[in-house]
Structures are given as C-alpha cells and as structure tokens.
Amino acid sequence: MTVEAFDVVDLIRTKRDKGVLTTEQINWLVDAYTRGYVADEQMSAMTMAIFLNGMEREEIRDLTLAMIASGETLSFEGLGKPTTDKHSTGGVGDKITLPLAPLVASFGVAVPQLSGRGLGHTGGTLDKLESIPGWRASLTNDEFYAQLDSVGAVICAAGSGLAPADRRLYSLRDITGTVESIPLIASSIMSKKIAEGTAALVLDVKFGSGAFMQDPARSRELAETMVRIGKDAGVKTVALLTNMNVPLGLAIGNANEVRESVEVLSGGGPADVVELTLALAREMLALAGQPDADVEGHLAGGQAMDTWRAMISAQGGDPDAALPVARETQRVVAERDGVLVAQHALPFGIPAWRLGAGRARKEDPVVHAAGIDLAVKPGDAVKKGDVLFTMHTDESARFERALEALEGAYVIGDEGSALDTGGPLIAGRVD
C-alpha cells in the first residue's frame, strides 16, 4: 500500500486559515486529485477556501505548473516558424478569433488556436465554425502540425491529454460556486495555453455587462495575474483590457458571426470588430518578432482571406458553401424617434442563447442559424418604426422567452443624451 505524502484535510485547513501551501503540497494535491485519491468533496472544500482567501503568486504559479504536469505538452520547436496565440475571456458577439488567426498567420507566423464550445450566454469558437458545412473541430496531432506548417493557422478542439487536472477541476468549480476565483481562473486558462506550447500569448481580458467578470478592477487583477504566470513559465505574455458592455459587432450567434467575420476578412465589417482584430494582431505579431507588420494591408489586400480559405478547407470545410439560415425571424422596431444611447451586452446574449445559439448543458446541440442581428449601435439615430434588431430561430415558440430577456436591454434617448457604453473598446494594456 502506497503511503501518501500529505493529508488533504491538513492542506484544506491551511488554506481555510489563510495559510500558504508549499510547492510540494500543491504538486501532491493536483496529482492526487487527478488519480482520484482526493475526492470531489475534499477538492470542493479546497476550492472554496481558495475562493475566500486567495493564493500567493508562488502558489498560483505552482498550481498552474502542476496542472500542466498532469498531462501531455506540445512542442513547436521543429516547426521552423514562430508561434503566437490569443485567448479571450469571452463575451457577446466575440468572434475575433475567426478573422484574427488567419490574419496573423498570413505573415508567416504559426497560430495554434485550441478553442472551446459555448456554455451559457457566451459563444464558443468551435460552435461558430461548425456552422460551415464539412468543417471539423477534431484533428490528430499529425494533422495539427501539418496544418500549422502548410497553412499557419489552426482552430480546433484541444485534446483530452492537455492539462486533464484542469478539466476535472473546472467541472467541479462550475457546480460549487467558485468559478469567479481569480487564482483558479488564471491557473485554468494558463495551464492549457502553456501546455499548448506557444512561445507567445496575447490575452483579451474583458469587463462589463456581457463579460465573465463585470468589474474593470477585477478584470485588471485577472490580467495581471495571468501575465505574471505566463512570464514565470517563460511564455512572452501581454494582455489587453477590452470593453464588453456593448455586444461586439452586429452579429450574435454562430453562422451569423461567421458571416460577419468573412466581411472583416473581405475588408469590411463593423468598426469595433475590425479595431479589436487589428489591435490583437499587432500585439501577437510584435511578440512574434514583427512589430511593424502591415495588418491593415493584409486585410485590404486579401492575404488574410486567402489564409482563411486555406484554413477552412484544410479542416474539411467549404469556404464557399451557404451558411445555415433560420426558418423563423422576428424584428423589433423603435417605438419613438431618438438616439440609441444604451445596448447592454448580457441582455442580448441571454436571448440569443434562448433562441438556440447557446447551450444550457455541455451535451446540448446548438442551432447554428439562431441568434440576433443588430441593426444599430449606440450613437445611431433612429426613427419610429426603424428595425433595431432581428431575432433568428428554427422554432417560433422560442421568441417569447427571448423577448422577456430583452427587457431593459436597450435605451432610446434624445439627441445629445450621454451614451452608456462603459468607455472605449480598448481600456488598457498589461505587460
């Protein structure tokens, strides 16, 4: 019989009483939980203690490294090109990965973008791309490396071998009210990104109504924590703090967000989506050794679109295929003349979810054609009867609950009224 190095109850008491765990204790805890020796109820107590009392910088670093060590790691040393990646904390209408990955890859840089699916009101990149006929999210390691070499950009599902401890811990946090813990969020995100093997990482940390963390100060704290972890692990890391009080772009959903991304790659698209795509691309390319890259030129000149088409085709998708269209639509119009002064992200994300664009459980399917298309943004003048937005779904019975969630989602004011947007799109930078 194996004698364990520590007693989990002692470690729980240490964090409960605001103590500090050693590297050896954290390594043992993560390993013991991964192999099932530490039970879910014990780890639940530990995560709540961490949620209430926090962790020191060294503890967060050790937790991240222990979760990385729980599984396999990837390496791109033999690729022959620099690697750079982006991670967003998510929001409403956040489709930035779609135009960003091919844009950055068009400069000869490899972008290994391991992405996830949506749960709740925030959409998942894989769900969006699966609206393209034939496209597949799962690749073998050989396919993954081959595509990075030939195309430069890969957006696919992460393998189960990367940071399996985080996979178990995330599910536990989701049902124990500890999701919002900054040490646990930071170690979860960074363990997967560091295990992925990228040399450089740009973080898009959002705040506001539609963000995971609504408070700008808490978002900055999270950004600073993740940047420290990245640097401690030898990964060049910077973060942008971005505003998610207003939905990003005009499209919320899956297929309609793909359409909007293609518009951006074609040199058009909403100004806020273009602005954030370009800002993140500059940061990624600077970390990859190309600080003077002409990102605007590659959007306008078609290089980014060429890479998009190659990326989609390499994963079995047809970049020319028609995207799904919803069977039912319903428009919501302005009831008065005026100016749109507020458009809150969360109350638009929830109805898109209810229309079928998201899932309540991981196993639920999404309706790729479901979602909301916005016709106006804050600051736009409207006339009575003008369309404000259009809802899309395959089941008309879904409209009623979607409309319920839209109560208070937008405000039409008088000309000259102050806009309620929460400030500029890009609010800060952490390096």
Positions marked catalytic: 87, 166, 173, 188, 192
Residue 82: alpha-carbon gap to chain centroid: 22
* 55: nearest Cα among 73, 87, 29: 29
Cβ neighbors of 203 (< 8 A, separation 6 or more) are: 86, 87, 88, 89, 189, 223, 226, 227, 237, 238, 239, 240
CA distances in angstroms from 392 to 340, 343, 368, 372, listed in the order given: 22, 18, 10, 6
190, burial (CB in 10 Å: exposed 0-12, middle 13-18, buried 19+): buried
DSSP label at residue 250: S
C-alpha 371/C-alpha 324 separation (Å) is: 12
Q: Let me know if 221 is exposed, middle or buried by CB neighbors in 10 A (0-12, 13-18, 19+).
A: middle
Q: Which amino acid is at 322?
A: A
Distance CA 256, CA 131 (A): 9
**What would you measure as the largest C-alpha separation in the chain, in angstroms?**
77
User: With helix as H, strand as E and coil as C, how does 302-322 read?
Assistant: CHHHHHHHHHHHHCCCCCCCC
Strands 200-207 and 85-88: parallel
Q: For residues 251-271, b (16+ Cβ closer than 10 Å) or e, as one string?
A: bbbbbbbbbbbbbbbeeebbe
Gap between the Cα atoms of 94 and 89, Å rounded: 10
8 Å CB contact between 381 and 261 = no
For 356, what's the count of Cα atoms within 13 Å in the CB-facing half-sphere? 23
